[in-house]
Structure 1
Amino acid sequence: MTAMPQTTDLLSVHYHHLIQHRCGDPNDDLIAKMYASWLCGQGAMPLNLGLPLDIFRTMMAYHFPTMPHISRPAHIRHVDVARMEELDDLRTLLHQSHSHTGPDAGWMVEILCAGCMGSDHLWQDLGLWSRKDLSRLMQDNFQSLAERNSKDMKWKKFLYKQMCEGEGIYVCRSPSCEVCKDYQACFGPEV
């Protein structure tokens, strides 16, 4: 009798299966990581990575055109409907700074919005494998926004700070981040 593979083994199997079918787009790797994590129950992504089913299928067919079958996880997470207004504000911020003109333009906005609804670090909620993956996603897809994060603030905190400042809401009482007593919470290591 064979032992059940560990989650990391399944994660690797799902990821490598997807990568064999990639189209060569820079986002293939990131989507493969998020999708593999989603299949293994990791991260906080809702059904279809936060996309409507038809758009999810279109995205997967674009990034992995020769993949014969799209698997779906047994678990289902949902976005908190009480946070929909927050999602709209985040969506607006991301659309304004999206640097892609291809089909990925709307997909990454919606996926990132869904990931922001989780309660962990954004890279973990998205099902990415490191913060470096998220920084690459931001740089490749939201370059102008990524460049504004010049001090390497944690991404979810940075996005929400940008939304607040866009609305003229300044919740931080410190004159600058460097002198704030909560500096570690925004800029410290993500573990």
Structure 2
Amino acid sequence: MHTEVVHASITQTASRDVHYATLMAHAHNTPNNHLLACMIASWLVGQGNMPTRFGLSETSWNNLLNNHFPHYIFPQRLLPSDTIDVLRLPECDELRTLFFSHCDTITHDKQCLADILITGCMGSDHLWQDLGLWSRKDLTTLMKHNFPSLAAKNDRDMKWKKFFYKQLCLQEGIYICRAPSCEVCADYQKCFGSEE
């Protein structure tokens, strides 16, 4: 059966909501569509801090788009892209191992989302903002759906990026925090305060 490719008639001046609606109109009924559409729509209007293809290879990026938003023609964003800090690549491998160690099965989606999360961790803002998600709740949903056992460890609602790095330190037996407990730490708000 011949399937006609539907072109997304969206210009660079379209709002994030319009991009999101267009993406969702092309979406297959698969998990993560909403979250990916939020991130992509934000990126298309210059929000967030993600590089081209969100840090994925061209093949992985195209497969991800085809799996979630078939027949959607991805418009080129005209804004410059940030690049990943290559000096942090060993850290990227450690984060990838952390995510994959909390997967029952490693699917293409989870590989891509792990790499997208890692790329987001290279940013300087709250992780959900760097990813282009629309709220911290979206990031929590992404974690619970894709990396549930890791998400379950964050039972005190620590900020996600800080939580990931704390997990890496714990794996290495590094305990950098000198406070006897989080509740008495002077930096409590930096780890657990609002991100909104």
TM-score norm. by structure 2 comes to 0.90
- 2:5 counterpart residue number: none
Within-5 A mapping of 1:1-191: 10-67=15-72, 69-74=73-78, 75-191=80-196
**Can you list the C-alpha shifts for 1:141-191, whole angstroms capped at 9, x where unaligned?**
110000000000000000000011111111110122122111111001113
Q: Give the Cα–Cα distance (whole angstroms) in 2 for the partners of residues 169 and 102 of structure 1.
A: 31
Over aligned residues, Cα RMSD in angstroms? 1.6
Q: Which moved more, 1:75-84 or 1:109-118?
A: 75-84
* Matched positions, count: 185
Q: Which moved more, 1:30-39 or 1:174-183?
A: 174-183
What is the DSSP-based 3-state SS (H/G/I as helix, E as strand, rest coil) of the residue aligned with 1:13? helix
Q: Give the Cα–Cα distance (whole angstroms) in 2 for the partners of residues 16 and 99 of structure 1.
A: 32
The code of the aligned residue for 1:140 comes to: H
Identity of aligned residues (%): 52
The code of the aligned residue for 1:156 comes to: K
Whether the 8 Å contact between 1:51 and 1:110 is mirrored in structure 2 is: yes
Whether the 8 Å contact between 2:42 and 2:132 is mirrored in structure 1 is: yes
Q: Give the Cα–Cα distance (whole angstroms) in 1 for the partners of residues 167 and 74 of structure 2.
A: 36
Whether the 8 Å contact between 2:20 and 2:38 is mirrored in structure 1 is: yes
Unaligned runs of 5+ in 1: none
By how many angstroms is 1:102 displaced?
3.4
Whether the 8 Å contact between 1:94 and 1:142 is mirrored in structure 2 is: yes
What is the DSSP-based 3-state SS (H/G/I as helix, E as strand, rest coil) of the residue aligned with 1:32? helix
By how many angstroms is 1:50 displaced?
1.0
Whether the 8 Å contact between 1:152 and 1:187 is mirrored in structure 2 is: yes
Q: Give the Cα–Cα distance (whole angstroms) in 2 for the partners of residues 31 and 95 of structure 1.
A: 19
